[in-house]
Chains A and B, each alone.
Chain A
Amino acid sequence: MKVRFRKLLPFVIPAFSIYTLLVVYPFIYSFYLSFFSWSGVGAKKFVGLQNFKDMLFGSYSPEFFNAFWHNVYFFIMLSIFEVGLGFIIALMLATRIRGHRVFQTVVYMPNIISMVLVGFIWSMLLNPQWGLINQTLKAIGLGKLARPWLGDASTALNTIIAVNVWRHIGFYVLVMLAAILDIPKELFEAAYMDGASNWQIVRKIIFPLTVPTFQTLLVLLFIWSFNIFDIVYALEGVQAGPYRSTDVLGTLFYRTAFGGLGSSRTDLGLGAAVSVLIFLIVIPVSILYVRMVERRSER
């Protein structure tokens, strides 16, 4: 065994060094930096746990928790509309109705467009004066529903979620579809022969057998929900307007560390503290994910 391992080393070291340099080192450095106050130039000032105190209990805590609850809201809405709706669409595709291959492709296509482009295109579609959405509403007589989608605090967050669903649902549909198609055909044939209705088949066969996939997807979705940045940045900018109603931990971090507009104070240490807090939220779930995958592969 000893000989074998030494032979493996030269193959492992390159990847391992890149990983250490690009992932482990910045991570440890962020952790270290979170105990200092640093504007990016000049000396660092040691402040101990003050950054964390400010973020969780002090002057920044309203902003922090506002962003935090938005992330939680994102997770809940995306679970329903990406995983839930994805499952329903996958069910429809699994029945192999006419044109299902075309529909499959169409549903997945938004997923290949870069997030920033998605934001750019949708911000044009949502333009209050000449955007396609409001124009269409006015043309079909629903002009009363036309509003400044991204400028109204009551609609901005849900609009961003809707754009996000548009972009990502294809992925969930494909994964769920694969899971459904994995179920042995004999189970369905037997069930139909026993006179089961479609609804009973979904409830008693499909659903239980796809639960592992659901679990994996929800865990991934949780991790992803707490790392959201680019869609908010592309549609609302790092200020996450209107007045922070679309703020998430990612934009809070960017604003705190690098400043938004004409910032009087950028503090990389405080920003690092935000990123450490994001990490602490996400890590228990990530460990859970790894355990689940390990258990599955053992099976």
Chain B
Amino acid sequence: MRKFFVIFLALLVLVAFSATKVEIWSWRSQDADVWKEVEKKLKEKGLNIEIVFRAFIPTEYDSKMGIALQSGTGPDIIYSRRLPGKRTGDLIDAGLLVPLDDKIDFSHFSQNVLRYISKDGRIWGVPFAVQVVGIFYNKEIYDKFGLKEPKIWDELVHNAEVLKKNGITPFFIPGKEAWALAMQHAMCGVSVLGPEWIAKLEKGETDFLDPKWIDLNRRLNELKKYYQEGFLANSVTDQDAAFAFGQAAMVFYGIWGLQQWRSLNPDIKVGYFMVPPVSEDQKPYAYVYMDGALALTSISKNKEAALEVLKFAATPEFGTIFSNITYNIPAVMGAKVPEDPLFKEVVEVAEKHASPHVYWVGSVFVTQKPSLYTDVLAPGMQEMYAGKITPEEFAKKAQDALSKWFKPLRKRLGLEN
């Protein structure tokens, strides 16, 4: 009898000291080390939590996660996407996420970031990263030919001309990946069209047949003579390799690429500038959006432990860990970001020059089908670059697609009152 009692006690002690498991699912495989650090820091604080991190390919993450949550077998914390957005919106409507505004202190986040994860007055996740996109360039190549960061579009074209004459590929474009082309259009749009114009588009005071939109299409189409030969068949992997090894001078990409370029070539000197507007009197802007947030699932069996993890993720200390490992901009303010001049420059751009109006991810134009992103810009850019449609026809496609459901545009065209 005594033997059993002792064994029972031992087991009890073991269970008490065994860590509570918190499982996190994500589409970012690069975050694995971040969570290892977080686990260490939580243990230092006396919280015995084991974090199990699982990453999936971005294109399969949503379906896998959705199915798991529905069947009750999913993780405690999920990486969630933006709001407004059907993916996250559906999860909330199905009661699969737990609102966090009454459980976590969000004072370290700006209102601008929190609006990407708020619905019906409640906050549904802890934002973890903010992404900034723009033109990244190889500083050594620019210095070699005495080029300066362009202030207006024509200077950008001039830079490309100089590079081409000297046998350097001015831009490396991953033409096979249509999403990257849509991103290129969007990052140019916030500067070339400007947030005021985009705001008019959101209200239905202008539409896609406006000469300014067609002009942007045309400018991009004319830029393609400065792309690498055969660019329509290249992927982002090719782009990262070519840029990292100095085979191309500029790429239209996001700050998340820096981690990959540095791992391929630690000596690379990367510079950044926002896409230049058309004329001197316009201000350049950067496309900045919340990348994702950490949400608590309602089917979690370890809610207290998961909340501890989320509380930590809402602190500047998490931001420090996150940005130093992934070279991504943390969403939380007050973090100690890497002492890298490029990184600091991009963080400042995110804080001071983010465009308040956008039309790609995180905008109203992608909330229903046909979406301006996947159904118009992505295939349309490929078609225009391949010469199958003109910039005018491209604009017409956008008009036809959005006028099917976007109310302000429908009102403007008299399809609805």
Contact = CB atoms under 8 A, between A and B. Distances in A.
Contacts of A152: 232-233, 386
Contacts of A260: 59, 374
A262 B228 contact: no
Contact of A150 (B66, B179, B233): B233
A48 interface: no
Q: Secondary structure of the A side of the interface?
A: loop
B367 interface: yes
B368 A42 contact: no
A266 B233 contact: no
Contact of A148 (B60, B233, B404): B233
Contact of B86 (A59, A127, A149, A264): A264
Given A42-B90, A153-B388, A262-B366, A239 B233 contact: no
A148 B94 CA distance: 45
A12 interface: no
Interface string A259-291: 111111110000000000000000000000000
Contacts of A243: 178, 379-380, 382-383, 386, 388
A149 to B, nearest CB: 6
B175 interface: yes
Contact of B368 (A134, A146, A147, A264): A264
Q: Secondary structure of the B side of the interface?
A: helix
Interface in A85-103: none
B378 interface: yes
B265 interface: no
Interface in A174-188: none
Contacts of B242: 129
A129 B94 CA distance: 48
A241 B233 CA distance: 9
B234 A262 contact: no
A238 B59 CA distance: 9
A151 interface: yes
B67 A151 contact: no
Contact of B230 (A128, A238, A258): A128
Contact of A242 (B60, B85, B232): B232
A199 B399 CA distance: 62
Interface in B61-80: 62-63, 66-67, 69-70
Interface in A214-243: 236-239, 241-243
Contacts of A146: 230
A151 B383 contact: no
Contacts of B59: 238, 258-261
A146 B229 CA distance: 10
Contacts of A41: 66, 69-70, 90-91, 93-94, 96
A206 interface: no
B238 interface: yes
B361 interface: yes
Contacts of A262: 179, 361, 366, 373-374
Given A42-B93, A129-B229, A153 B234 contact: no
B179 A39 contact: no
Contacts of B380: 243
A40 interface: yes
A265 B58 CA distance: 15
Interface string A123-159: 0001111000010000000000011111111000000
Contacts of A42: 90, 93-94
A1 B59 CA distance: 55
Given A261-B59, A261-B179, A264-B368, A129 B382 contact: no
B90 A39 contact: yes
Given A153-B388, A264-B366, A265-B369, A242 B176 contact: yes
Nearest to B369: A265
Contacts of B367: 264
A87 B55 CA distance: 47
Q: Which 8 A-B pairs have the closest CB atoms?
A: A151-B233, A128-B230, A151-B232, A148-B233, A148-B230, A42-B94, A264-B371, A243-B379
Interface of A: 39-43, 59, 126-129, 134, 146-153, 236-239, 241-244, 257-266
Given A128-B230, A148-B230, 17 more contacts: A39-B90, A42-B90, A42-B93, A42-B94, A126-B233, A127-B238, A128-B233, A129-B238, A146-B230, A148-B232, A151-B232, A151-B233, A151-B234, A243-B178, A257-B63, A262-B374, A264-B368
